[in-house]
């Protein structure tokens, strides 16, 4: 028997999701309790190790957003630790300016970290992965060299005393409690970001950059915000590190330390908070348990890194994530609920049509599209068909801004539609799907769909950081809208499932749900029926019809001729980049040239 997936989700699941990356909360509380209970052991050495763990975590918590969430391979973060440590120490010692109180120095270090966090991060906006990894590595090297060379300020190789915090934080246990408290706050802050639209956008940039752009996510702005946060946290961790060490020299900031931070995130697992936290704890403690491990710690870290990447790409997080074990029902059926479209799309004022005039685009001398005219009318389904290489998907990519045409114009009603600028399309309510579904495999289906609404977010980064009421309200609205969209496409029962566990056909419908999140005025569908069964194609057809009847103009690129002739109001046929014919399905169906172009007769 079929298990219908169109039923409403249980309330408990919805509540659990809102706890986001801190769910379940008890492991975090347990770790904190262990830390707080340390003085009971009376063992100051382990107190110091716990303090160091907390300090490392302050840095890793921020780095986690960059490496684990945004997928940027920043391997030289020890540089920011050093910057923070030296800034705090130098300011507190007063060998350049009048001495500052330790907390003020720590605050200034945070600011310096924010600035340098952006400096280190900027190349990521332009460079590919390996290049970026190299630049962070180079940055780490030169920071160490500067600390050595700038003797007047940093004390060079001799070093400088770390700042002393005022009472009651000037004892081993007082300092431990301070660091634990600070680490707890950092956990909370980064978890807030992780579960906000910013966190989802970071993951989208990592796993589905093109879809992220189409959803209106502005990658540079997003990354800069996160670089600021991570840089500030790392530098403040550096200040605390200097206090812990009591005396710092450039030798304290080895590349091995950088590696520890980086690998802690990867061992922990991407897109998790608890995983990297455990990773940090394990990597900090491991060399302390057995003396031989200390000498070989880097070797161990590297071996762990290799094993994790090759054998356990999900890291610790994958082991502890219950979504991996829960079985999805077999024989599930995608049952779109057109009724949900009423609630989702509602009555909207009908926008003006989307028009293309004389679009020309060539790749390396070959004209992929050669003077295409097209008009997508709101409330109608417009089919775009033609043989392979006739320019269908290219036309779609011109509309959604990925390609700049060499000639021709686009407009929505009287307003010209600027060429290029794919991130701007979501703001104009132009949504799209892709030939190959672009998804975030590690995120839930619900989160994947919520990506589509990013551009409607009104609350800022700071509000998300502190999880202020307005931001939480907005999140609830996003979630409700995403659940409606999932209901509309018939995937409501799979909202909590990890997206990479879905079948191919379900991913196609999930992409449509993501596009519907935008309440689109225009919806561009790129071969949505590819790989679907006959029954699924029929339901897809009904869904597309339903969407268009709520006022959305749909442009449908498709190979399945029966689907095109079934649901389209207008059909344009492309051949060799030119419009071969345009008209109603009935006209096209009997168009001699079309039949021969299509059949190749």
Partner 1 sequence: MPISAPERSLLEVRGLEAGYGKIAVLHGVELGIGAGEVVALLGPNGAGKTTLLRALSGLLPVTAGSVTFDGQALTNASPRDAARAGMVHVIEGHRVFTQISVADNLELAGYDLPRGERAARIEEALAFFPEIAAKRRDRGGALSGGQQQMLAVAQGLVRRPKLLMLDEPSAGLSPVLLDRVLGVVRELCAKGTSVLLVEQLIEKTLAVSHRVYAMAQGRIVLAADAKEEDLPHRLERAYFGEDVPTALHA
Partner 2 sequence: MLASIIASGLAVGAVYALIGITYNTMFATSRVMSFTAGQLGMLGGVFGSLFTLRLGLPILPALVLTLACCALIGVVTEIVAVRPVLKSLDQHLYVLTTLAVALLIQHMTAMEWSTEPQPFPRLLDLGSGIWDEKYWLPVAVCILTILGLEYLYRRTLVGRAFVAIAEDNFAARALGLPERNLRIASYALAGAIGALAGFAGGQLLLAFFANGPLLNFYGFIPVALGGLGNNRGAVIGGFLLGLFQQAANFLVGGIFSSVAVFTLFIIVLLAAPQGMFGAQAARRV
| C-alpha span between 232 and 556 (Å, rounded) | 47
Take residue 24 and report the two structure tokens written for it: 């379940």
Residue closer to partner 1, measured from CB, 152 or 330: 330
Q: Which does 301 bind (CB under 5 to 8 A by kind): partner 1, partner 2, none?
A: partner 2
List Cβ neighbours of 275 (8 Å cut-off, separation of 6 or more).
68, 267, 268, 269, 315, 316, 317, 320
Q: Which does 127 bind (CB under 5 to 8 A by kind): partner 2, partner 1, none?
A: partner 2
* Order of all β-strands in the sheet with 553-557: 430-432, 522-526, 553-557, 381-385, 570-575, 578-583
Take residue 493 and report the two structure tokens written for it: 């029962």
Residue closer to partner 1, measured from CB, 348 or 504: 504
- Where b means 16+ CB within 10 Å and e means fewer, 247-264 reads ebbbebbebebbbbbbbb
Q: In whole angstroms, how close is the CB of 410 to partner 1 at the nearest point?
A: 26
Residue closer to partner 1, measured from CB, 256 or 587: 587
Asked if 296 contacts 254 with a C-beta cutoff of 8 angstroms, the reply is no
Q: Give the residue carrying structure tokens 């409501």.
A: 492
Q: Which does 123 bind (CB under 5 to 8 A by kind): partner 1, partner 2, none?
A: partner 2
Q: In whole angstroms, how close is the CB of 393 to partner 1 at the nearest point?
A: 11
Q: In whole angstroms, how close is the CB of 532 to partner 1 at the nearest point?
A: 9
| C-alpha span between 76 and 503 (Å, rounded) | 39
| C-alpha span between 267 and 259 (Å, rounded) | 12
| C-alpha span between 427 and 239 (Å, rounded) | 42
* Binding-site ranges for partner 2 (CB under 8 A): 73, 75, 122-123, 126-131, 133-135, 137-139, 141-142, 145-146, 148-149, 209-210, 255, 259, 266, 295-296, 298-299, 301-303, 305-306, 309-310, 313, 393, 397, 402-403, 434
The distance from CA 158 to its chain's CA centroid, rounded to whole angstroms, is 43
Q: Which does 418 bind (CB under 5 to 8 A by kind): partner 2, partner 1, none?
A: none
Number of H helices, E strands in the chain: 26, 14
Q: Which does 131 bind (CB under 5 to 8 A by kind): partner 2, partner 1, none?
A: partner 2
Take residue 290 and report the two structure tokens written for it: 């057995």
Residue closer to partner 1, measured from CB, 164 or 366: 366
Q: In whole angstroms, how close is the CB of 333 to partner 2 at the nearest point?
A: 31
Q: In whole angstroms, how close is the CB of 600 to partner 1 at the nearest point?
A: 4
Q: In whole angstroms, how close is the CB of 155 to partner 1 at the nearest point?
A: 55
Omega within 30 of 0 (cis) for the link into 168? yes
| C-alpha span between 337 and 333 (Å, rounded) | 12
Q: Which does 306 bind (CB under 5 to 8 A by kind): partner 2, partner 1, none?
A: partner 2
Asked if 397 contacts 369 with a C-beta cutoff of 8 angstroms, the reply is no
* Binding-site ranges for partner 1 (CB under 8 A): 366, 387-389, 436, 503-504, 507, 527, 530-531, 559-562, 565, 589-592, 594-595, 598-601
Q: In whole angstroms, how close is the CB of 398 to partner 1 at the nearest point?
A: 19
Q: Which does 296 bind (CB under 5 to 8 A by kind): partner 2, partner 1, none?
A: partner 2
Instruction: Give the β-pairing of 570-575 and 578-583.
Output: antiparallel
Residue closer to partner 1, measured from CB, 417 or 507: 507
| C-alpha span between 210 and 289 (Å, rounded) | 46
Residue closer to partner 2, measured from CB, 157 or 346: 157
Residue closer to partner 1, measured from CB, 55 or 499: 499
Q: Which does 366 bind (CB under 5 to 8 A by kind): partner 1, partner 2, none?
A: partner 1
SS3 string, 325-358, reads: CCCCCCCEECCCCHHHHHHHHCCCCCCCCEEEEE
Residue closer to partner 1, measured from CB, 278 or 384: 384
């Amino acid at each position: 028997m079929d298990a219908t997936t169109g039923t409403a989700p249980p309330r408990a699941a919805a509540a659990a999701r809102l706890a986001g990356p801190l769910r379940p909360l008890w492991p975090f509380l347990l770790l904190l309790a262990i830390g707080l209970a340390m003085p009971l052991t009376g063992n100051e050495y382990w107190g110091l190790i716990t303090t160091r763990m907390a300090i490392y975590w302050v840095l890793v918590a921020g780095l986690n957003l960059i490496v684990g969430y945004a997928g940027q391979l920043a391997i030289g973060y020890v540089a920011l630790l050093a910057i923070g440590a030296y800034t705090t120490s130098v300011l507190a010692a007063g060998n350049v300016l009048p001495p500052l109180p330790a907390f003020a120095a720590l605050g200034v270090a945070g600011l310096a970290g924010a600035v340098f966090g952006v400096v280190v991060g900027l190349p990521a906006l332009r460079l590919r992965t390996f290049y970026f990894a190299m630049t962070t590595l180079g940055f780490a090297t030169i920071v160490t060299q500067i600390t050595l060379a700038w003797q007047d300020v940093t004390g060079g190789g001799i070093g400088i005393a770390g700042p002393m915090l005022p009472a009651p934080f000037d004892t081993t246990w007082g300092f431990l409690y301070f660091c634990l408290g600070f680490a707890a706050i950092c956990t909370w802050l980064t978890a807030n970001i992780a579960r906000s639209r910013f966190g989802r956008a970071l993951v989208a940039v990592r796993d589905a950059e093109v879809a992220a752009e189409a959803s209106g996510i502005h990658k540079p702005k997003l990354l800069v915000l996160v670089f600021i946060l991570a840089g500030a946290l790392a530098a403040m961790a550096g200040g605390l590190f200097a206090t812990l060490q009591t005396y710092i020299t450039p030798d304290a900031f080895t590349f091995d330390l950088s590696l520890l931070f980086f690998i802690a995130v990867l061992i922990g697992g991407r897109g998790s908070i608890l995983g990297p936290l455990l990773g940090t704890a394990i990597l900090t403690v491991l060399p302390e348990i057995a003396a031989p491990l200390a000498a070989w710690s880097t070797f161990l870290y590297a071996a762990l890194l290799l094993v994790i990447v090759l054998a356990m790409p999900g890291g610790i997080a994958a082991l502890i994530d219950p979504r991996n074990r829960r079985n999805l029902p077999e024989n599930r059926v995608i049952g779109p609920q057109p009724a949900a479209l009423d609630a989702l799309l509602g009555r909207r004022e009908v926008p003006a049509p989307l028009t293309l005039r004389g679009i020309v685009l060539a790749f390396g001398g070959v004209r992929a599209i050669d003077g295409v005219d097209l008009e997508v009318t709101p409330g109608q389904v417009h089919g775009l068909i033609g043989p392979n290489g006739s320019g269908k998907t290219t036309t779609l990519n011109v509309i959604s801004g990925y390609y700049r045409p060499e000639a021709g114009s686009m407009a929505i009603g009287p307003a010209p539609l600027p060429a290029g600028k794919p991130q701007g399309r979501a703001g104009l309510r132009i949504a799209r799907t892709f030939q190959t579904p672009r998804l975030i495999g590690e995120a839930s289906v619900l989160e994947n769909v919520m990506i589509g609404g990013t551009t409607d977010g009104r609350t800022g980064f700071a509000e998300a950081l502190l999880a202020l009421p307005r931001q939480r309200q907005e999140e609830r609205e996003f979630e409700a809208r995403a659940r409606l969209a999932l209901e509309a496409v018939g995937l409501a029962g799979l909202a909590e499932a990890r997206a990479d566990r879905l079948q191919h056909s379900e991913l196609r419908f999930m992409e449509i749900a993501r596009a519907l999140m935008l309440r689109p005025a225009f919806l561009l569908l790129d071969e949505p029926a590819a790989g679907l069964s006959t029954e699924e194609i029929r339901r897809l057809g009904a869904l597309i019809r339903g969407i268009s009847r709520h006022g959305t103009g749909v442009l449908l690129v498709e190979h399945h001729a029966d689907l095109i002739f079934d649901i389209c109001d207008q059909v344009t046929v492309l051949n060799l980049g030119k419009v071969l014919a345009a008209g109603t399905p009935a006209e096209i169906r009997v168009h001699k040239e079309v039949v021969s172009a299509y059949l190749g007769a």
